[in-house]
Structure formats: structure tokens, C-alpha cells
Amino acid sequence: MKLQLGLVLFGFTLAMGQIVPRGSWCPVPISPRLPRLVGPVRLIIIHHTVTASCFNPQQCLLALRQIRADHLRRKFRDIGYNFLIGGDGRIYEGLGFGIRDEHAPNYNSQSIGIAFIGNFQSGLPPPQMLQAARTLIQIGVQRRQVLPNYTLVGHCQTKATACPGKHLLEELKKWPRWQPKP
Ligand SMILES: *[C@@H]1O[C@H](CO)[C@@H](O)[C@H](O)[C@H]1NC(C)=O
Ligand SMILES: [Zn+2]
């Protein structure tokens, strides 16, 4: 209990634009058996989680745990995304850069999956979430985990799904490296 509280507080002390480490929300380390992702990747795929939104670090921590539990129930090996964006404007590490995600069959070995926590079928994510995702993409390029000429797409551009919601997709179309095809 004491440990958990310390980790929550750690979440508070991170500056905006920094990645909140997985260890601050998930006590279970990533299995060494998960397939590695060899960067830099050419593709960024945007998702939404189709869960409630979260607006502060405690809510987001709970949301992350629920999303991971749901993914494990659905027989994923861990949380299915590389990173998640909280409604608190923070970037949360899921699998991170070095592990292959499990959310876009046929593209997982060449992509980073970023999920916006919430449901954006009926409205746009708030500006702090959009900004956090753009910052994360910049971090990926700076760390050479993402090619500078990457392609940005919504999940629905890789398979028949509503993800990441029509409002978020329309927003992505205005971003510099969005492309009609993955
Ligand atoms: C992107 O850059 C990489 C590495 O510099 C290059 O191999 C690739 O052809 C480029 N892709 C596009 C679509 O320009
Ligand atoms: Zn998706």
C-alpha cells in the first residue's frame, strides 16, 4: 500500500511532456518473452480505448490497470498498446518503444500504437491530450524509435473498426504526417 502511494506521488511530480513509466501504474514487469520491436518504425497507429476518460493521475492509473486487465481477459499477453494518453495530458508507457504491440494485426511489427484513453466517437479529445500525443511522436523520432518520415494513421485505416473514433480521425488528418494509407 505504501509502495503504491509512493508511485502515485511519483506520477504527480513528472513534468508535462515526459513519459510516465510503466512501473508507476503496473506492478508487473513486461515478460521477457514478449516479441521485441526493432526501431525505428515507419508507422504510428492511433487508437482510442473505448473506456471512460480519466482526468487526473489517480483516475488514469486506475483506467490503465482496467485496460490491461481487459486486454489480458481478451488473451493479449499484456496491455496491447505501446503508449497511452491520459485526459490529464500525460503520456503513459504501456509496452514502451522496444516491445511489439498487439492491436493492429499485420502492422504490429512495424508500428507504434498510441491509445487515447476515452471514447472519441462523439467528441474530440481535449487539447492537452492532442498535445501530449504530438510530443510523444517527437520523442519517438528524437530517440530514433520512429523514422522522421513516419506515416501516421488511425486504427480504422488498417482494418474495419471505428477506432479511434471519427472526431479524433478528422483531427489526425490535419497533422503533418497523416497519410490516407498505412
Ligand atoms: C523514409 O526514410 C527511410 C530511411 O531514411 C528510407 O529508407 C525510406 O525509403 C523513407 N520512406 C519514404 C516513404 O520516404
Ligand atoms: Zn484501435
- Name the residue ranges covered by the structural domains of the chain: 38-172
CATH no. of 38-172: 3.40.80.10
What is the percent of the chain with per-residue pLDDT over 90, rounded to a whole number?
84
| Cα–Cα distance measured from residue 74 to residue 72, given in angstroms and rounded to the nearest whole number | 5
**pLDDT, tens digit, for every residue of 116-158?**
999 999 899 999 999 999 999 999 999 999 999 999 999 999 9
CB-proximal residues (5 Å) to ion ligand 2: 47, 155, 163
pTM of the model as a whole: 0.90
Confirm or reject: Cβ of 147 under 6 Å from ligand 1.
yes
Does the pLDDT at position 12 exceed 50? no
Report the residue among 38, 42, 149 best suited for mutation to probe ligand 1: largest number of ligand atoms under 8 A from its CB: 149
CA of 29 to the centre of ligand 1 (A): 34
In angstroms, the Cα distances linking 117 to 125, 142, 181 are 9, 24, 24
**pLDDT, tens digit, for every residue of 60-89?**
999 999 999 999 999 999 999 999 999 999
| Cα–Cα distance measured from residue 178 to residue 173, given in angstroms and rounded to the nearest whole number | 6
Confirm or reject: Cβ of 52 under 6 Å from ligand 1.
no
